Amino acid sequence: MAEWIGIERRARRCYGFDEIALVPGTVTVNAAEVDTTWRIGQLSFKAPFLASAMDGVVDVAFAIAMGKLGGLAVLNLDGVQCRYDDPATAIAKIIKGDVEETTNLVQELYKRPIQEKLIARRIEQIKAAQVPCAVSTIPQNAERFGAIAQEAGCDLFVVQSTVTTARHLATAYKPLDFTKFTRAMRIPIIAGNTVTYDQSLELMDTGISGLLVGVGPGAACTTRGVLGVGVPQVTATVDCAAARDFSYKKSGRYVPIITDGGMRNGGDICKAFACGSDAVMVGSAFAKAKEAPGRGYHWGMAYPHSSLPRGTRIYVGTTGTLEQILFGPAQTDDGSQNLMGAITTCMGTVGAKTMKEFQLTEIIIAPSIQTEGKIFQQVQRVGMARKGSAEQPNGRLSARRRAARPVAPA
């Protein structure tokens, strides 16, 4: 319900992950017996995760590893993977760059033209490992890159921008017609990002197969600071899920929604599904994997923008293998590992056997859920209090973390 924020101006109250909690079910289910499968087009995946199309997260090797584990990694066609024959060299310069000069360095590295021959080569390298291949590009490049990707054997094509609408107005260039594009492509199209009911409904009407939800919540994204635009992920997911359900009733086509960004741990991911998501796109959690090309660093997709960067380079550290992050065993206590275990355990706790049942979980507004009874964790910066602290490169703790660590008795 909207509240007055001034004379003749009202604003709707929206919610983020920290402000809600999930209520246990009256029936519980064995976590080993729940079904986490999600589907898009003719494809199905046992792990409802997409690794974000960020150069510090996904390269060919990572995409192959993710595919073999039952998930899906999205390769960024607008990034260094298709600008350099050896993208590792460019990535090494970015992660070693001085923090004050990184923006200029990234902008300079991304000035090199995209080589269309590398688009086909990267896709063929992923497909050679017999795993599904997904790639991403901005709307301006979708028609040209889409044809190349489809011919090379790509399984799923993502058209992604900061905010995507079915009706984009421009006179300086020809906007992408999503209806014509989806009809021309033989493979499923995911479009995004969006955060509203009306935007979602119009995009689904164009024939897309999936929708990305989220504007600005990512750890490496600065869109909300630069543009002031965004909707907290709980409200955004609920609204877009409502559009999906209405679209399904109207057309008979089910278009899965994918919550993209803002999820720091297993608890946030579980809340995204309870809010109506069919799958989640995650960056920071996978940037921590040993297989990630950024070696613990990653940066936003809009970071290289030549005139208005809307991202930054962040350090999240390397904490384990991709398999450990997805399936455990967890060696951390902050919910950043064994994400699949978190999902199945939560599903069992709320009594959901399938992902569709998971979307019906009772949700309560509970801003104190993160701190209730957690005074020792807060003081010592461990467990649930750890997520707000910054790890430093080379494994060093921040000064605040060092000061808060308990001193062992003599």
pLDDT in tens, 29-46: 999 999 999 999 999 999
> The pTM is what?
0.91
Residue 283 pLDDT > 70: yes
3-state per-residue secondary structure call for 268-307: HHHHHHHCCCCEEEECHHHHCECCCCCCCEEECCCCCCCC
| Segment (H or E) for 213 | strand 210-213
Whole-number Å distance between alpha carbons of 352 and 87: 43
Are 6 and 319 contacting, i.e. CB atoms less than 8 angstroms apart? no
Over residues 142-163, the mean pLDDT reads 97
Are 80 and 91 contacting, i.e. CB atoms less than 8 angstroms apart? yes
Whole-number Å distance between alpha carbons of 190 and 187: 10
Whole-number Å distance between alpha carbons of 242 and 365: 19
Which of the four pLDDT bands, split at 50, 70 and 90, describes residue 295?
Answer: very high
User: Which pLDDT score, from 0 to 100, does residue 393 have?
Assistant: 52
120 Cβ partners below 8 Å, 6+ apart? 148, 149, 151, 152
Residue 396 pLDDT > 70: no
Over residues 387-403, the mean pLDDT reads 44
In this structure, what are the phi and psi dihedrals at residue 363, rounded to the nearest 5 degrees?
A: -120, 140
Over residues 373-384, the mean pLDDT reads 81
Chain length of the chain:
410
Are 405 and 397 contacting, i.e. CB atoms less than 8 angstroms apart? yes
Whole-number Å distance between alpha carbons of 240 and 245: 9
Which of the four pLDDT bands, split at 50, 70 and 90, describes residue 394?
Answer: very low
Q: Would you tell me how many other CB atoms lie within 10 Å of the CB of residue 290?
A: 15
Are 189 and 159 contacting, i.e. CB atoms less than 8 angstroms apart? yes
17-370: which CATH architecture? Answer: Alpha-Beta Barrel (3.20)
Q: Would you tell me how many other CB atoms lie within 10 Å of the CB of residue 408?
A: 5
Distance in Å from the first CA to the final CA of the chain = 57
Residue 401 pLDDT > 60: no
User: Which pLDDT score, from 0 to 100, does residue 356 have?
Assistant: 97
Angle, nearest 10°, between helix axes 266-274 and 339-350? 50
* Residue entry with tokens 């998930």: 71
Q: What is the mean pLDDT of the chain?
A: 91
Whole-number Å distance between alpha carbons of 196 and 242: 10
Name the maximum alpha-carbon separation found in the chain. Answer: 73
Residue 392 pLDDT > 90: no
Q: DSSP assignment, residue 391?
A: B
pLDDT digits (tens, 9 = 90+) for 11-32: 999 999 999 999 999 999 999 9
Two tokens, residue 273: 């599904």
Residue 386 pLDDT > 80: no
Two tokens, residue 34: 């729940």
Two tokens, residue 384: 């649930």
Over residues 344-351, the mean pLDDT reads 98
* Residue entry with tokens 């990653």: 298
Which of the four pLDDT bands, split at 50, 70 and 90, describes residue 139?
Answer: very high
Q: What share of the chain is helix, strand, coil (3-state, %, to 5)?
A: 40, 15, 45
Rg from Cα positions in the chain: 21
Q: Where in the chain is the domain with CATH 3.20.20.70?
A: 17-370
